[in-house]
């Protein structure tokens, strides 16, 4: 009889403990439900193009889908702006100094990188060359590093660009020193490889068409080198997309993309005009006081939640 009394008392204590725990958890859950901010999604556009630029200032690679990681878009072995032409002392070479870089195609498959350019023989070389030296590089005001791609590649670029000094190609690898974006407004833990500023740049077809309507000839989206091209929206509506979701990917807007003379390079010929579309853009898109002479077209984003992007995905603005 004593045994049954003790067993009942013990089970009663267990039951009371479990009931108390359940009530506490329920209270926490209800409190979280009513105190957390409710996320609201508003459809603002559609992804019409996904563009990777594996070589900084090189040709774009248009893909139907891409993985969006913290350092930008990725498709197979291609990573956005992970290859960079430099001088032997480590300074970057871009289309601003060598406009014919825009005609260079860099692709990658089966562990081999493939280079093509007008009037040049195709060149293939291994993606991974772990015994090659690492160069210290300078991209604008930021220090970074890159793995040298070899003498044959160096000779190829030096000949193609008819450079008066030796040029080299370097590749960013995950273990190397990444760049901290040089502009104010970026999170202090943000890191990029070789883009000008942010891992992702988004602009809309409508904004491009608005600019084209003010010019004597059409312009190409390739002159503005976005990562994500949006459609089904009004011109410059992307200026107000502070926090967006595409699929499972979430991105936070940091600042407008201030445009420079590189936009005046014809992506089909590699020829500088040094005039349009930049002159016209300056007449009505000097919208950021911090960018006194750089008109805004497109927006820079950081990646808050990674995932897969597809052409045709709806773009949602997140509000709370």
Does residue 4 sit within a domain? no
Is residue 18 in some structural domain? Answer: no
For residue 70, give its domain range: 41-319
Which residue, 255, 206, 232, 305, is CA-closest to 47? 232
Predicted model pTM? 0.87
DSSP-assigned letters across all residues of 179-214? BPP-STTS-TT--BSSSSS-SEEEEEHHHHHHHHTT
CB proximity list for 147: less than 8 A, separation 6 or greater: 129, 130, 132, 133, 134, 135, 170, 171, 172, 173, 176
42-77 confidence digits (pLDDT tens): 999 999 999 999 999 999 999 999 999 999 999 999
Residue 293: inside a domain = yes
In a domain, 15, yes or no: no
Identify which of 141, 189, 154, 142 has the alpha carbon closest to the alpha carbon of residue 83.
154
Dihedral sign of CA atoms 229, 271, 108, 169 in order = negative
In a domain, 216, yes or no: yes
SS (H, E, C) 59-105: CCEEECEEEEECCEEEECCEECCCEEEEECCCEEECCCCCHHHHHCE
Q: Helix (H, G, I), strand (E, B), or coil: what is residue 122?
A: coil
Peptide bond into 277 cis (omega under 30): yes
Contact (CB, 8 A) for 88 and 165: yes
User: How many percent of the chain have pLDDT more than 70?
Assistant: 88
Could you tell me the two tokens for 91? 């300074």
pLDDT per position as a tens digit, 233-292: 999 999 999 999 999 999 999 999 999 999 999 999 999 999 999 999 999 999 988 778
Position 165 in a domain: yes
Query: For residues 198 and 70, what is the distance between their CA atoms, to the nearest angstrom?
Result: 10
Q: What is the distance, to the nearest Å, from the Cα of residue 228 to the centroid of all Cα atoms in its chain?
A: 8
Q: Cβ atoms within 10 A of the Cβ of 89, count? A: 10
Number of domains in the chain: 1
Domain assignment of residue 213, yes or no: yes
Tokens of 140: 């604008």
User: What is the CATH number for 85?
Assistant: 2.40.33.20
Tell me the pLDDT band of 4, cut-offs 50, 70 and 90.
Answer: very low
Residue 19 lies in a domain: no
């Amino acid at each position: 009889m004593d045994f049954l009394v003790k067993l009942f008392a013990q089970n009663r204590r267990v039951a009371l403990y479990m009931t108390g725990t359940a009530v506490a958890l329920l209270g926490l859950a209800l409190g979280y439900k009513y105190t957390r901010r409710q996320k609201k999604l508003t459809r603002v556009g559609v992804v019409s193009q996904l563009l990777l630029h594996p070589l900084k200032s090189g040709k774009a690679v248009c893909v139907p889908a891409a993985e969006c990681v913290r350092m930008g878009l990725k498709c197979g072995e291609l990573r956005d702006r992970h290859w960079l032409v430099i001088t032997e002392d480590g300074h970057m070479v871009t289309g601003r100094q060598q406009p014919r870089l825009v005609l260079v195609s860099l692709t990658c498959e089966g562990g081999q990188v493939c280079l093509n350019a007008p009037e040049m023989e195709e060149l293939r070389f291994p993606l991974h060359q772990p015994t090659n030296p690492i160069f210290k590089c300078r991209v604008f005001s930021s220090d970074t590093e890159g793995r040298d791609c070899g003498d044959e590649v160096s000779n190829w670029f030096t000949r193609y660009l008819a450079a008066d000094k030796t040029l080299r190609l370097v590749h960013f690898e995950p273990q190397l020193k990444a760049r901290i974006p040089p502009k104010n407004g970026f999170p202090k833990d943000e890191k990029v490889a070789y883009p000008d500023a942010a891992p992702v740049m988004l602009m809309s077809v409508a904004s491009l068409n608005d600019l084209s309507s003010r010019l004597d000839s059409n312009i190409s989206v390739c002159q503005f080198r976005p990562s994500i091209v949006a459609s089904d929206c009004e011109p410059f509506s992307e200026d107000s997309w502070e926090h967006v979701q595409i699929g499972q990917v979430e991105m936070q807007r940091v600042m407008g993309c201030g445009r420079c003379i590189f936009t005046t390079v014809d992506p089909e010929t590699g020829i500088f005009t040094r005039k349009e579309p930049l002159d016209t853009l300056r007449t009505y898109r000097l919208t950021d006081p911090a960018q006194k002479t750089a008109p805004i077209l497109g927006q820079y984003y950081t990646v808050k939640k990674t995932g897969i992007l597809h052409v045709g995905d709806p773009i949602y603005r997140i509000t709370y």
